[in-house]
Amino acid sequence: MKYFYSICIIIISLFIATSCKKEIKLPDTSLEKLYGKWNLVKSYGKHGEGEIPSAGGYQIWISFNNLGEYDKYRDSIQLVNGMYRVVQEVDSLSENYILTTTASYRYNGKEYNLGDSLRIDFKGDDTLALYCDCENGLDYLYTRIK
């Protein structure tokens, strides 16, 4: 009977351990400052498009946790809930960290998939710039919400 209880405890422990979410591994510990909430100051494109939420009287913010999950809100309405990862990109001229996001969301009864690949640049601890190196993408400037 002791043997039976021991096996049951081991099986339950394994189930709990494998069902828990794990922290993601970042390529550099300095990137941990990504975790938290960030307020969008402005987005801007290479052709003049973009937005400044404060000028429109609303707030857009994004949050990243250490489990690889992110959320994006406009005021108190959740726009996106998805996953992210950070990878290191090295070429002969520079070393960059790339934030890749994926999410699915519904709008007007249709399901959409959303994905971005953006270069991360911190300006101190409280300013985050995300750059799209593509022709038609937007760049984003965020400040930390404390």
Categorize the per-residue pLDDT at 20 as very low, low, confident or very high, splitting at 50, 70 and 90. Answer: low
Q: What is the three-class DSSP state of 23?
A: coil
Q: What would the pLDDT profile of 21-46 be if each residue is shown by its tens digit?
A: 688 889 899 999 999 999 999 999 98
Q: What distances in angstroms separate CA 21 from CA 24, 28, 68, 102, one per listed residue?
A: 9, 20, 10, 18
Q: Domain segments of the chain: what residues?
A: 23-145
Q: Is the pTM of this model over 0.85?
A: no
Q: What would the pLDDT profile of 57-86 be if each residue is shown by its tens digit?
A: 999 999 999 999 999 999 999 988 999 999
CA angle 110, 131, 83 (to 5 degrees): 45
Q: What is the CATH number of domain 23-145?
A: 2.40.128.280
Categorize the per-residue pLDDT at 8 as very low, low, confident or very high, splitting at 50, 70 and 90. Answer: very low
| Size of the chain in residues | 146
For position 113, what pLDDT does the model report? 87
